[in-house]
Copies of this chain bind each other. A is one copy, B any other.
Amino acid sequence: MAKSSKIPDPTIERLAQYSRPLEVLLKNGALLILSEKLAELCGVSPAQVRKDLAYFGEFGIRGVGYDIRALLQEIKHILATDREWTLCIVGMGNLGRALVENENFQRRGYNFVAVFDSDPKKIGKTLPCGLTIEPANKIRELIRKLGITIGVISTPPFEAQRVANLLIDSGIKAILNFAPTRIRTPDNCAVENVDFTVKLENLAYHLGKIS
């Protein structure tokens, strides 16, 4: 099956992107798709699509294309999104609350089961989704009790590393970090950063070149 080593990181990122239009197509009843069509929908080259998929096996039929349902299932299996994940989030500001209520997470099997904050005024409040804000000192206990595997950080930047350390100490192996700062983790804990302001600065750079 997988030549599991040496898969380029960009390939993993694109697999997730391929799944988006495939889901739409499947829902609309389409059965087959060509690498050329999928490539066009995702803004990449057809050869790129084929090479990305070929890292994991032979999913297509030569002369015909890819079976949409089977391909989507394979991608989900590769990305391990064919199961449910339990998450917690630390930092219940505007962004944290919006993330917890965001239906894009549940829809893909990412379920928040605990939310934390260190502000006494927020602790104990119940959110529309039904979760109650817990104090930061219960992070370790609840992560273990609820079997949480992914931690989300939406605190101010100066608290992010401390929170990350707490999560790591509690056994978390994957962190999604929304704080606009780098956090350090041991090799066995993966981090993905979502920094809007970096993206805006990219845009500003491009705009600056024009005007």
Q: Which chain B positions have C-beta within 8 A of A198?
A: 13, 16-17
Instruction: Specify which chain B residues have a CB less than 8 angstroms from the CB of A197 in the assembled complex.
Output: 16, 104-105, 108, 110
Q: Scan A177-210; emit 1 where CB is below 8 A from any B CB, else 0.
A: 0001110100010101111111111111111111
Chain A facing B: main interface SS: helix
Stretch of A79-87, A115-123, A132-140, A162-170 at the chain-chain interface: A79-87
How many angstroms from the CA of A184 to the CA of B209 in the assembled complex? 21
**How many copies of this chain does the complex contain?**
2
Q: A98 in the interface, Cβ–Cβ < 8 Å?
A: yes
Count A interface residues, CB 8 Å. 62
List residues 30-86 of chain A with CB under 8 A from any CB of chain B: 41-43, 78-81, 85
Instruction: Name the contact of A196 in the complex, choosing from B176, B182, B199 (C-beta under 8 A).
Output: B176
CA–CA, A211 to B79, complex, Å?
13
A residues sitting closer than 8 Å to B (CB atoms) are: 4, 12-13, 15-17, 19-21, 41-43, 78-81, 85, 93-95, 97-99, 101-102, 104-105, 108, 110, 149-150, 157, 173-176, 180-182, 184, 188, 190, 192-211
- Can you give 17 contacting A-B residue pairs, CB < 8 Å? A12-B205, A16-B195, A20-B157, A20-B181, A21-B182, A41-B182, A43-B184, A93-B98, A94-B98, A95-B102, A108-B200, A108-B201, A149-B211, A174-B204, A174-B207, A176-B196, A192-B202
